[in-house]
Every structure is written in structure tokens, then in C-alpha cells.
């Protein structure tokens, strides 16, 4: 079983890999998020631009047009809680 610290570390590695591709290396842009989804999440290859935008807006809680690590972790935690409720 993974500890919270281990989970956070792997999330940080994933986040940094994509956030560092262009622009601000501390945040995910919409393009970087789309790339992450396409490469890391099976079944998202066919997502439309509008669907990506909706998903991005969901993550971007403060609406500043970038997803920072805190917003990314919030999302991952929510997703994990949802999957445990199934």
C-alpha cells in the first residue's frame, strides 16, 4: 500500500514532467493538460477541444487559466475518492 507521501511524490513527478514542457514550469497549461491526458489516461485520445476545456476548467479552481500543483492534487484526491465509492 502506498503512503500519502509516495502518492504525492509520484503526482509531483507526473505534474512536473508535463508542466515543464513550455511556459511556466510550475503550472499546467491547457495544451500540457491535454497532452498528459492523451498519454497517461487511456480512452481520452478522442476527447474534443471543448471536452478538454471543460475538464481544464474543472481543475482550474481559481480560474487563472493555469492548473497549479495544488489544483492538480485536489483533483487527484477527488478522483480517488470517487473511485473508492464505486
> Residues in the site for Ca ion, rule: CB under 5 A?
60, 62, 64
Please report how close the Cβ of residue 79 comes to Ca ion at its closest, in angstroms.
Answer: 17
Please report how close the Cβ of residue 40 comes to Ca ion at its closest, in angstroms.
Answer: 20
Comparing CA positions, the residue from 60, 4, 52, 50 lying closest to residue 28 is 60
Based on CB atoms, which residue is closest to Ca ion, 40 or 64? 64
Please report how close the Cβ of residue 15 comes to Ca ion at its closest, in angstroms.
Answer: 13
Contact 28, 66 (CB under 8 A): yes
Amino acid at each position: 500500500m502506498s503512503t500519502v507521501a509516495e502518492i504525492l511524490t509520484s503526482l509531483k513527478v507526473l505534474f512536473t514532467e508535463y508542466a515543464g514542457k513550455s511556459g511556466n514550469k510550475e503550472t499546467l497549461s491547457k495544451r500540457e493538460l491535454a497532452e498528459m491526458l492523451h498519454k497517461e489516461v487511456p480512452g481520452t485520445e478522442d476527447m474534443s477541444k471543448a471536452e478538454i476545456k471543460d475538464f481544464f476548467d474543472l481543475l482550474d479552481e481559481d480560474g487563472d487559466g493555469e492548473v497549479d500543483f495544488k489544483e492538480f492534487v485536489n483533483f487527484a484526491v477527488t478522483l480517488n475518492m470517487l473511485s473508492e465509492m464505486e
